[in-house]
A and B are shown apart, each in its own frame.
Chain A
């Protein structure tokens, strides 16, 4: 006889999860079948033995050893570096998005002024224009921000997520 299908019911019976009606039906079946009775007895015995198994205790100086170590370590403050990094990351991403959505065309068109007035003296910017490429600087800054945002995303979201999955973290 395949008793497998009864195992679940027997465990439910032992955990007190069966209704009175189902319990009576099952007990009658168990009484009528010696093989099922053997399964029931072994599961019941295992259940009772484990339930009555006392908790194990560590060595006698366990508490004092823990407290000695506790005395040496500070409690972490609720301030979380990860939270801060995440916050900065979100800000950075927003900034990039805003720049891309609204400011990028302006960046593309950005040029240095023809001349710059300092203390009532006009300074010609022609020479500076030849040296500085504003568009290129804008693009480089955008690229650096993107790389930074990816790094922060990895540190603050991906890494903690996979570490939690693997059970490494607290």
Chain B
């Protein structure tokens, strides 16, 4: 049977019974989600890739502890968030330097994005301007099939707190976009 046809729970059961290679199916299924989440938190591709890799290794090591009644996606996102956050703590000194560099070039980057009409790149930059928590919440919110309860369980925030923080993050993103649109009009 093709791995794609197996559910997450089936794959986990078979990996635990010795078919180690089937874990590849879970990696392929979730690698983009895990990497995106890590990238939005860490804002650095190399670190995000390392954190994503670490996430899957941690998940593999703890696979036997995964509760079958839970959703694997929620579990792996939680590991990804925790891993990325601990990476961020580890690289805090480097990050401070990066932030300064990004801030210096922000205006130019944004102008370039708008000039080239590359809205997607601009939105990515706008997300990068958010704090790690805001970026994490926004990313999870726009992942498919995640309820606020699941987001709160992944981020270890209360549902009400997660809602408020998400609201602020979305509002902030909207304001950044509005500001840029105004700038664009002025530059025309």
Q: Enumerate chain A interface residues (CB-CB to B < 8 A).
A: 7-8, 11, 38-39, 42-43, 45-47, 49-59, 62-63, 65-67, 69-71, 73-78, 80, 164-165, 167-170
Determine the distance from Cα of A42 to Cα of B178 in the docked complex, in whole angstroms: 5
18 A/B residue pairs, CB under 8 Å, sorted by A: A7-B171, A11-B171, A46-B177, A49-B120, A50-B127, A55-B32, A55-B35, A55-B36, A56-B36, A58-B53, A63-B24, A66-B53, A70-B56, A75-B16, A75-B60, A75-B61, A165-B156, A167-B86
Cβ proximity bits B138-161 to A, threshold 8 Å, 1 near / 0 not:
100010000000000000100000
Interface of B is mostly: helix
A133 CB to nearest B CB, Å: 48
B27 in contact with A170 (CB, 8 Å): no
Given contacts A66-B57, A71-B20, A76-B65, contact A43 B82 (CB under 8 A): no
Given contacts A46-B170, A63-B28, A76-B64, contact A69 B57 (CB under 8 A): yes
Closest to A165 in B: B156
B21 at the interface (CB under 8 A from A): yes
Chain B hits for A39, CB < 8 A? 174, 178
A73 CB to nearest B CB, Å: 6
Contact of A46 (CB < 8 Å), options: B31, B58, B173? B173
Q: How large is the interface on B (under 10, 10 to 19, 20 to 34, 35 or more residues)?
A: 35 or more
Determine the distance from Cα of A67 to Cα of B23 in the docked complex, in whole angstroms: 8
Interface of A is mostly: helix
Closest to B59 in A: A170
Determine the distance from Cα of A170 to Cα of B120 in the docked complex, in whole angstroms: 32
A45 in contact with B27 (CB, 8 Å): no
B32 in contact with A56 (CB, 8 Å): yes
Closest to A45 in B: B177
Contact of A170 (CB < 8 Å), options: B21, B35, B48, B79? B79
A50 in contact with B138 (CB, 8 Å): yes
B152 CB to nearest A CB, Å: 14
A43 in contact with B174 (CB, 8 Å): yes
